[in-house]
Amino acid sequence: MTERRAKKSSVAVKERKFRGVILPTASHKAIRKVKRAGHDPAIHGTKLWRSSLLIIDYLHKNPPTAAHSVLDAGCGWGITGIWCAKKLHSSVVSLDADPAVFPYLDAVAALNGVGTEPRVERFEQLKKKDLAAFDLLVAADVCFWDELVKPVCKMIDRALSAGVSQIIIADPERPTFHDMAEKMIARHGGELIQWKISGQTKASGALLVINNQ
């Protein structure tokens, strides 16, 4: 390997692009600036999780019939909602239980030239009247603990009852996700879809898709 190639390979990748949005890594200067300011997420909001990309890819290939108003539940750094704001021109509420994720979300949104409305709430706090404002509910990596299965199921129940047109939840196929998905499909119908992204940006997992139309 030449010296030039060795030097190039040793440089950390600071950002990638996927389906029209910028995906910064932890080494990106905008993210490092937020971390230096002392923001330290406590509930796994420490990076862009790849399950979000499964939802983005699915929506890119299967444009929703209604996406004027989108709820990105358990948003973390918020890339799913940011993509909806940028590519679908949606009005997006980014919801997370951890307020420390929002400075990171703001940095990612700024890189992409859009904004979303932050909301600090847990799934259990979302009422039917709140959910009635949304056409599309998306969530990625929200069933990583056993104790999250019931709150996610209840959120889906309320969302469908409130008239949300479509719900898409992605996961790298944890047993807890499959437990939740099986319960929801038995109760409401829907599909469990295997999804894989290849190329420069890679991700794989499953999507729970419920259409309420």
pLDDT in tens, 31-61: 889 888 766 665 554 558 789 999 999 999 9
Strand partners, 210: 167
Q: Which residue pairs from 191-200 have beta carbons closer than 8 angstroms and sit at least 24 positions apart in sequence?
A: 193/58, 195/54, 195/57, 195/58, 195/170, 197/53, 197/54, 197/57, 200/16
Which CATH class, in words, describes the domain spanning 47-211?
alpha beta
pTM for the whole structure = 0.89
> Tokens 């889906």, residue?
156
- For residue 170, give the nearest of 151, 152, 189, 188 by alpha carbon: 152
Strand partners, 197: 203
Domain boundaries, the chain: 47-211
Give tens-digit pLDDT for 12-38: 578 889 999 999 988 889 888 988 876
